[in-house]
Amino acid sequence: MLEIILEPYKFTARKYVEDSGSITLGLNEIDLAVNGKDEEEAIKKMAEDILEYAEDYFAEYTLFYNAPNRKHHLPYAVKALMLNDVKKIGELIECHPGEI
């Protein structure tokens, strides 16, 4: 049931190609950014960071939930914890070209 409730919550990222050829991703739903040598590595790092953020969110739930800029992160944190798998989270990250 929880999977159905959280289905509309997607992870989307802005993708930037750096001068070095590396890829920087900026997550739209949560203020996270990562850089990897290619898109695959950047997505894996982002998925790891999403899961770590979700764990921190619930470890300090009262603080995070009551912060106005983090309250809306709750369904994304629940989704990440429900999946509890970096590969599965990575498969849900949609990358779109970013603009500088």
Report domain extents, the chain.
2-97
Q: Which of 41, 11, 42, 7 is nearest to 28 (CA)?
A: 11
Q: For 70-87, write each residue's pLDDT tens digit.
A: 999 999 999 999 999 999
pLDDT reported for residue 99: 75
Residue type at position 60 = E
> For residues 46 and 26, what is the distance between their CA atoms, to the nearest angstrom?
9
pLDDT reported for residue 100: 60
Q: Which CATH number fits domain 2-97: 3.40.640.10, 3.30.160.270, 3.40.50.2300, 3.30.160.620?
A: 3.30.160.620
Measured CA to CA in angstroms, residue 2 lies from 5, 7, 41, 66, 80 at distances of 5, 8, 29, 22, 12
6: Cβ contacts below 8 Å, ≥ 6 apart = 75, 78, 79, 82
Q: What tokens appear for 47 in the block?
A: 């998925």
Q: Answer for the pair 75, 6: CB distance below 8 angstroms, yes or no.
A: yes
Q: For 12-64, write each residue's pLDDT tens digit.
A: 999 999 999 999 999 999 999 999 999 999 999 999 999 999 999 999 999 99
